[in-house]
């Protein structure tokens, strides 16, 4: 899948989770991540890179991502991104 067909989300705003919302974006805009996290200073760049790499590994090039983190582990972040992708286009 290289293009999102619709808006989709996965996750919650509960502790140790992340809410990922994916929205289709115009061709050529790239992967745009808007992240809100209480750990932004320590882990913001890492979370952003993890989301971007997960999307890129699934062939996604143009998407708007809104992520509200509440201390999610890497495996949870990846799972939420993949689930949102499945809901958005497959």
Is the Cβ–Cβ distance between 3 and 86 less than 8 Å? no
Domain boundaries defined on the chain:
8-88
**Torsion region of 49: left, alpha or beta (phi above 0 gives left; psi -120 to 50 gives alpha):** alpha
Give pLDDT tens digits for 42-80. 999 999 999 999 999 999 999 999 999 999 999 999 999
In the DSSP assignment, the letter for residue 7 is -
Nearest-CA neighbor of 62 among 87, 18, 83, 31?
31
2 pLDDT tier (thresholds 50, 70, 90): low
Is the Cβ–Cβ distance between 7 and 88 less than 8 Å? yes
Give pLDDT tens digits for 16-52. 999 999 999 999 999 999 999 999 999 999 999 999 9
Quickly name the fold that domain 8-88 has.
Answer: Ribosomal Protein S5; domain 2 (3.30.230)
**Token pair of 9 as six digits:** 């989300």
The pTM assigned to this predicted structure is: 0.93
**Token pair of 32 as six digits:** 């745009």
Q: Looking at residue 62, what is its pLDDT?
A: 94
Distance CA 2, CA 4 (A): 7
């Amino acid at each position: 899948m290289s293009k999102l067909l619709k808006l989709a989300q996965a996750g919650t705003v509960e502790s140790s989770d992340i809410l990922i919302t994916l929205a289709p974006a115009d061709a050529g805009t790239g992967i745009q991540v808007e992240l809100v996290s209480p750990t932004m200073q320590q882990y913001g760049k890492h979370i952003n890179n993890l989301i971007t790499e997960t999307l890129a590994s699934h062939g996604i090039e143009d998407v708007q991502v809104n992520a509200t983190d509440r201390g999610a582990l890497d495996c949870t972040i990846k799972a939420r991104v993949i689930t949102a992708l499945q809901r958005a286009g497959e």
